[in-house]
Amino acid sequence: MTEPRYHLTSYGCQMNKLDSELVEARLQQRGYRPAVDEEDADVVLINTCSVRQHAEDRVWSKLGKLRVRKRTEPSLVVGVLGCMAQEHKRYMLSRMPHVDMVVGPSAFGDIDDTIEEARVKNARIAAERAPANTRHEVFGANMLSVDDGVSGDRIRRDVKVRPVKSQAYMSIMRGCNMPCSYCIVPTTRGDEVSRPIATLVDEANRLCDDGVTEITLLGQTVNAYGRDLKGQGADLSKLLRALHEIPALRRLAFITSHPNFLSPDLITAMAELPKVAKFLHLPAQSGSNRVLKAMRRGYTVERYRKRIDQLWAQAPDIELHSDWIVGHPGETEEDFEQTVQFCKEIGFAQSYIFKYSPRPGTLSSEVEDDVPTADKERRNQVLLATQEELSIAKNRALIGSTVEVLVEGQSKVAGRMTGRTAQHRLVHFESDDAGLVGQYVPVRVREALSHSCVGDLLAQDAAEESARDRAAAAGAGSVA
């Protein structure tokens, strides 16, 4: 018998993508093979996101297509995983008989068993020509498996599912306890659960033994890490220090931080530890105190600015990234103008900009969505243009300098490779040497675009020189 083939599509945040990697690892260990085209797969899995309506709409439309496909292919297994599975489980279970599995986030510990069971039963149903609508009842008992435990560490990760062998993500916590009025994540992901430092050091060591040199720590409020680990004194600064000791590790990043938890200890750790990435994803969401209050973000523009001043006093080379929501209920032109000004004033290197999308059950969705769609669209464009100018200026400032790039793969442009700097800037350079993937190479920047730079690959001795410079700079910058 040929091995079963699966196809998995991920929507949503980095955490969802990491969950998908873990599911793929499980399936591959079980003998499943990935199908390049979804049409060729025996098992179609969709790992979903509920954060905005648009993300959900794409999945509803995909499920509509799968319903049609399943009419002629009753043995096909369809699984919905992730945040929409949590949010819409009742509807999916009662109204979508073509969906075989509905699995909430972090409940992937035994997913291969569930999938295998569904596949065997579907094959039997197909053979017996049972009517399609019995399928739901057949699987009713096994379909729903929702818990918010941390299951990632139970799944061995296989290099095959890590797109770049030297890069890995590690979920250090799950869930979110913040009260942001617009956000569905606390509902879909549940309460914060942090994993102990010892477990994480262990996992990082295993990853590094397997060739990883860059680890990105993941959490919805990653810098609130540890506050649920009562009595253990665990926080992100201590975790960074512990991971920093791993000799093979060269870069250590973390996303996403919340302004309220940018503590003096974390700032000091970022300033002192040379392996810690030189960027901080610290979403501001808005530059208007009125809107921040309505969003229940728990800080003001002044407080955000003060924290950044403290950060830059100790670590001036850290670049800031932000998320913004435009058109939150009640946002006036004046509020929006303050957002544009704040974005310019801080000089963010990169921003993700979202048009407000009401999420059922959230506080913001209870007030009227009073910003017209056309205004949301215009504000989105204005803020995008503002950020683009800032990003180009930052990239231009790099022209002529040599940066260290961790090579991630081939660029979309033929004959070019792509990678990132320690500040997470995307850099392309001429080369078709696939052997460079996973290596740290020196690139001299010659051209600046809005989302990337283009440069020339230098000989390796220049890399050593730049490493020596970095070490000297880190030594000079460290606090005794």
Binding residues for ligand SF4, rule: CB under 6 A, are 176, 178, 180, 183, 185-186, 220-221, 258
Q: Is residue 45 within the footprint of ligand F3S (CB under 6 A)?
A: no
Among 185, 212, 236, 371, binds ligand SAH (CB under 6 A): 185
**Taking CB under 6 A as the rule, does residue 174 contact ligand SAH?**
no
Residue of the chain from 50, 122, 171, 285 that contacts ligand F3S (CB under 6 A): 50
Total residues contacting ligand F3S by CB under 6 A comes to 13
**Residue 16 binding result from ligand SF4, ligand SAH, ligand F3S, none, given CB thresholds of 5 to 8 Å by partner type:** ligand F3S
Q: Give the phi and the psi of residue 331 in degrees, each rounded to 5.
A: -70, 120
Edge-to-edge strands, sheet with 5-10: 33-34, 5-10, 43-48, 77-82, 101-103
Among 47, 167, 351, 357, binds ligand SAH (CB under 6 A): 357
Sign of the dihedral defined by the CA atoms of residues 24, 26, 29, 31, in that order: negative
Distance CA 214, CA 217 (A): 10
CB of 15 vs ligand F3S, minimal distance in Å: 5
Say which entry of ligand SF4, ligand F3S, ligand SAH, none residue 354 contacts (CB below 5 to 8 A, set by partner kind).
ligand SAH
From the list ligand SF4, ligand SAH, ligand F3S, none, partner contacted by residue 77 (C-beta under 5 to 8 A by kind): none
Question: Pairing between strand 167-171 and 33-34?
Answer: unpaired
Torsion sign, CA atoms 164, 165, 166, 170: positive
Buried b (16+ CB within 10 A) or exposed e, 451-464: ebbbbebbeeebbe
* Comparison of 292 and 457: residue with beta carbon closer to ligand SF4: 292
Q: Which of residues 246-265 bind ligand SAH (CB under 6 A)?
A: 256, 258
> Nearer to ligand SAH by C-beta: 97 or 175?
175
Judged by CB, which is closer to ligand SAH: 235, or 331? 331
Please tell me the distance from the alpha carbon of residue 323 to that of residue 185, in angstroms, as a whole number: 15
Kindly give the residue spans of alpha helices, DSSP state H, lying in 324-451: 333-346, 373-396
Residue 186 interacting partner from ligand SF4, ligand F3S, ligand SAH, none (CB closer than 5 to 8 Å by kind) = ligand SF4
- DSSP assignment of 66-84 equals HHHHHHH-TT-EEEEEEHH
Kindly state the tokens that stand for 369: 């969505």
Alpha carbon of residue 234 to chain centroid: 23
- Could you say which DSSP state residue 42 is in? S
Please state the closest distance from residue 188 (CB atom) to ligand F3S, in A.
Answer: 5
Indicate whether 173 belongs to the interface with ligand SAH (CB under 6 A).
no
Specify the residue, 83 or 390, whose C-beta has the smaller distance to ligand F3S. 83
Residues 275-334 that bind ligand SAH (CB under 6 A): 283, 285, 323, 325
The structure tokens listed for 190 are: 């549940």
**Beta strands of 411-460 (E only): which ranges?**
416-420, 426-430, 440-448, 453-457
Binding site for ligand F3S (CB under 6 A): 12-13, 15-16, 49-51, 82-83, 184-185, 188-189
Chain residues in the site for ligand SAH (CB under 6 A): 51-52, 182-183, 185, 220-221, 256, 258, 283, 285, 323, 325, 354, 356-357, 359
